[in-house]
Structure 1
């Protein structure tokens, strides 16, 4: 039974490798046909690296005081605030951008408040807008990573340091920060390298064109496959280097096991902690509030094209979830080095790079537009595979360690083992992983932008086009609908995965 499971897992891992490496190989072959990089290409390369590094540094720098304030304070609504911190990760990117524009845009709330004071208006378009959006998405991620680091320091260590009058930052906080911050910064750097929707909406122009945007422009407007492939290869090389550095940045844990006392930092100035938490809360909550406020009056007046786009998004999200979960479950059940490599490899290529490879493979055989939705399903499943695998692998391994020998004695194998043991006992992580994938796929604006015609657009693409055409009321209603669908899918899957006995 174990042998068949490992064989099936190896076959699934090989299929995942082929699905990732095939498009990358096509990209690599076409890159050889490209000419020398133009000054514009080098400018896009430099800006991509610069904005990713600046976004990562700023996100981590702001996360430190926020994490310290949250560890020092217990206040009503703290759990709700922690839930708010997790919201940007599943919030559709295009919706968050709409909310940021509503707050910081030319006619946004901030400029409306500055105008009576005679102050110059702010502009969200350009490099500053790209970095602002990336900080909005990644500040919560960095904060979560630091909160887990603070929680890992035993409460006894804080008490001992206080009793001995030791500098607690030097002996407790700094070793943890030195361990966690490099990995967090590299992860955020990698995320910002492959960000497409942010650059498409807030960037553009010679000063704020990323490699992702250059790939899109080369394919969609210039049909220069060689240039698109060259930029895709350059981006993959940078992503692989960042992944390698991220692996080396993982240091050994700095805290020894404790007796289970709650970790809590010594209290600091109340005004400082309240200010940090309040400003962070406003920064994260106001864009979402702007989407709800703007979209509530338009959601029931949306044209039929938006509702059809929403239906396509639901189908794409469910299909991508089913495919990603099938691959992740089989690979996580088998484990092994091959599965680890296959599950990590999609991180080296963004959905747009993988879509570029699929476009290159298909364009001589069939009109790529004819396979827009299947290609979107496949790419979204591959992009979600690393997240699903990391969630499911420990859960399934723990179930096997606890009950695997008993299941072998009872002769449980194949589908019966899944139905009677693995799925019921790993129900929570399975539901969480499925909800995360569905929300990510629901809000994806990547490969669909390369392939889709007007009749094949998904809801994020329809919203992006409405924003580009300055149909802001339609975009607001579509944004609210997209938020409801993405969070609704996450809630349904996550809720369904919880143990009903809990």
Structure 2
């Protein structure tokens, strides 16, 4: 309990110091201005519109994709499909936007094909449509993987019973899969909504102008161009209020999915064996592979035309690679350790026979703290710590530690979504037995917890490391000649119009993310195999 409280205090302190340093710059007199500004209300409406539509499309597409992966558990290439769906999470937003432009842009592949059919520029990547395409590209795979993890935790006995009863595919979905998906939807939808509401690079790149600005862009403008910290804090408070209210509503929509006990037998489903089911599942998998894979193919094609040998031989590349690797490993270790500690502390607080109000509040605060980084924009955290450290001399000396901390916080919600259900299921299936046998402490960690949680821990670590590896937001404020990461180097090459080098770096970053997802899913085997 004490360790969890310490972790919670550390998260709150890191965020509070950043916000406090910004508030200390306040000159007063215009705190109420943002809420009386018609421009702010307009961008608020657009933020809610694009985030709501992006969430709706991402979740609706993720459901059939996750079900297809769960039902067709032994088709050739399934493991690579899972790794493909994990790639957008660690891909830098700027690199993903470039790949989408190669497919959906004015001179992109889709428009060239449609133009050959007699249609003139029928698709536009800029504006609301481009933002929605980009958000679905990044968030649909994440939602599908989280749903798939929930479906795969359904006990094998459920599937055996459904086969014995001769249940149809629709009945299986209604009575077995949907209760689990419905319980996962509030958390997944809330996560996707906050990612879309706080999206910055994609909106700035694909928005197409002031008409497609969001609250996050307005916060950046207030800090970067106007240097108006009170306005930025007020906008951040507005963003926190909007996303927090949505999370509360989503929390009340559906209860968390129940965790059933199981004997651990292999899963064998019968609802995906018919020709119609296989055809429908293949259609959804092909569509998902095309939506996610084509931009990666475009990045690979453009990067292959660069002088990769010269690019990878440059000393600045070696420094950037070493800095990125160090930051990503440290931030991933911190994120996974803090998240696992918080989840364990939360379960202990609620494990009492009659948990009091204090215990429930403490557990709720720990659970909510993992999503704080989605409520507090990273640009605000970075700017706050920049101002806080400036009186101590050269900020560049502290930059790596600050970037590691911000990246670790950025990964908390993703790691929590992976570890929390897995740890809850593990506790239900092993907690009573371990307690009855008197197994605790290091022995339980070595013989019970590690074998049962090794797979989700590797997945969470790879997600956190890939996310940190592709981050540009935190590094953009602190980047310098002494602190260059791969995304920062890519951004600088694009700014100097060295597009071939930028394409080569984008290809290298994509390959690194692929390696991380392969390592994170190395232990995955089709659940349907076996007796």
**TM-score, normalising length: structure 1:** 0.81
Give CA-to-partner distance per residue, 1:137-189, whole Å, 9 cap, x none. Answer: 11123333444565539335654775699866666666555544444333211
- 2:142: which partner in 1? 141
Instruction: Give the match for residue 378 of structure 2.
Output: 351
TM-superposed deviation, 1:315: 2.3
Distance 1:300 1:377 in 2: 30
CA distance in 2, matches of 1:64, 1:11: 38
Question: Which residue of the other structure, out of 510, 517, 521, is the alignment partner of 1:483?
Answer: 510
Distance 1:321 1:46 in 2: 35
- CA distance, structure 2, for counterparts of residue 149 and residue 495 of structure 1: 19
1:105 alignment counterpart:
105
- Gap change, CA 1:58 and 1:469, over 3 Å in 2: farther
1:97 deviates by: 1.9
**1:443: how far off?**
0.6
Contact 1:439 1:487 in 2 (8 A): no
Distance change (3 Å), C-alpha of 1:186 and 1:418: closer
Counterpart of 1:264? 271
In structure 2, the CA distance between the partners of 1:183 and 1:103, relative to structure 1 (3 Å rule), is: same
Deviations 1:199-252 (A, max 9, x none): 232225212222222222222233222222222222222232233233323425
Whole-angstrom distance in 1 between the partners of 2:423 and 2:244: 28
Q: Is the 8 A contact 1:43 1:206 kept in 2?
A: no
In the alignment, is the contact (CA less than 8 A) between 2:172 and 2:271 conserved in 1? Answer: no
Q: Does 1:291 align with 2:299?
A: yes
CA distance in 1, matches of 2:325, 2:243: 30
8 Å CA contact 1:228, 1:356 repeated in 2: no
Q: What SS class does the counterpart of residue 324 from structure 2 fall into? A: helix
The answer to whether the 8 Å contact 2:103/2:295 transfers is yes
Aligned 1:79-90 pairs, distance under 5 A: 79-90=79-90
With normalisation by structure 2, the TM-score equals 0.77
Q: 1:413-437 CA distances to partner (integer Å, 9 max, x unpaired)?
A: 7xx9978997688554444333222
Asked whether the equivalents of residues 146 and 417 of structure 2 are also in contact (C-alpha less than 8 Å), the reply is no
Specify which of 7, 11, 20 is matched with residue 6 of structure 2. 11
- Which residue of 1 is the match for residue 358 of structure 2? none
For residues 330 and 171 of structure 1, the distance between their equivalents in structure 2, rounded to whole angstroms, comes to: 34
Q: Structure 1 residue 297: deviation in Å?
A: 3.3
Q: Which deviates the most, 106-115 or 228-237?
A: 106-115
Unaligned runs of 5+ in 1: 1-5
Q: Is the 8 A contact 1:91 1:487 kept in 2?
A: no
Does the CA-based 8 Å contact 1:85-1:140 persist in structure 2? yes
Note the C-alpha offset of 1:11: 2.5
- Residue pair 1:123, 1:129 contacting (<8 A) in 2 also: yes
Q: Distance in 2 between matches of 1:69 and 1:388?
A: 24
Moved more, 216-225 or 123-132: 216-225
**46-55 or 465-474, which deviates more:** 465-474
Q: Hey, what does 1:462 align to over in structure 2?
A: 489
Query: Is 1:46 aligned to 2:53, yes or no?
Result: no
Contact 1:14-1:342 within 8 A present in 2 as well: no
Residue of structure 2 in register with 1:240 after alignment:
244
Number of residue pairs aligned between Structure 1 and Structure 2: 489
**Separation in 2, partners of 1:463, 1:69:** 36
Picking from 407, 430, 444, the partner of 1:380 is: 407
> Post-superposition shift, 1:57?
1.0
* TM-fit CA distance, 1:51: 0.8
In structure 2, the CA distance between the partners of 1:196 and 1:162, relative to structure 1 (3 Å rule), is same
| Shift in alpha-carbon separation, 1:405–1:13, aligned structure 2, 3 A | farther
Segment of structure 1 superposing worse, 22-31 or 93-102: 22-31
Inter-partner Cα distance in structure 2 for 1:288 and 1:166: 35
Change (3 A) 1:46 1:341: closer
* Aligned residue in 2 for 1:316: 327
1:193 aligns with 2:220: no
C-alpha separation in 2, matches of 1:454 and 1:256: 54
Q: Could you tell me how far apart the structure 2 residues matched to 1:84 and 1:284 are?
A: 7
Change (3 A) 1:277 1:389: closer
Confirm or deny: 8 A CA contact 2:87 2:517 kept in the other structure.
Answer: no
Specify whether residues 252 and 451 from structure 1 end up closer, same or farther in structure 2 by C-alpha distance, changes over 3 A only: closer
Match of 1:300 in 2: 309
Deviates more, 1:478-487 or 1:330-339: 330-339
1:441 Cα offset (Å):
0.6
Aligned partners of 2:472, 2:236: CA distance in 1, in Å? 17
Asked if 2 retains the 8 angstrom alpha-carbon contact of 1:56 and 1:188, the reply is yes
How far the C-alpha of 1:101 sits from its partner, in A, is: 1.7
Say whether the 8 Å CA contact 1:320–1:381 is kept in structure 2: yes
Q: Secondary structure at the match of 1:217?
A: helix
- TM-superposed CA distance for 1:58, in Å, is 1.2
Q: State the Cα distance separating 1:99 from its structure 2 match.
A: 1.5
- Residues 194 and 33 of structure 1: CA distance in aligned 2, closer, same or farther (over 3 Å): farther
- How far apart, in 2, do the equivalents of 1:53 and 1:69 lie? 25
Pairs within 5 Å for 1:412-451: 427-451=454-478
1:9–1:141 CA distance, 2 compared to 1 (3 A): closer
Stretch deviating more after TM superposition (68-77 or 254-263)? 254-263
Answer whether contact 1:72 1:268 (CA < 8 A) is retained. Answer: no
CA deviations 1:436-462 (Å, max 9, x no partner) are: 221111011222223324653422133
Q: Is the 8 A contact 2:19 2:233 kept in 1?
A: no
Structure 2's unaligned 5+ residue stretches are: 350-362, 526-531
Match of 2:226 in 1: 222
Aligned to 1:3: none
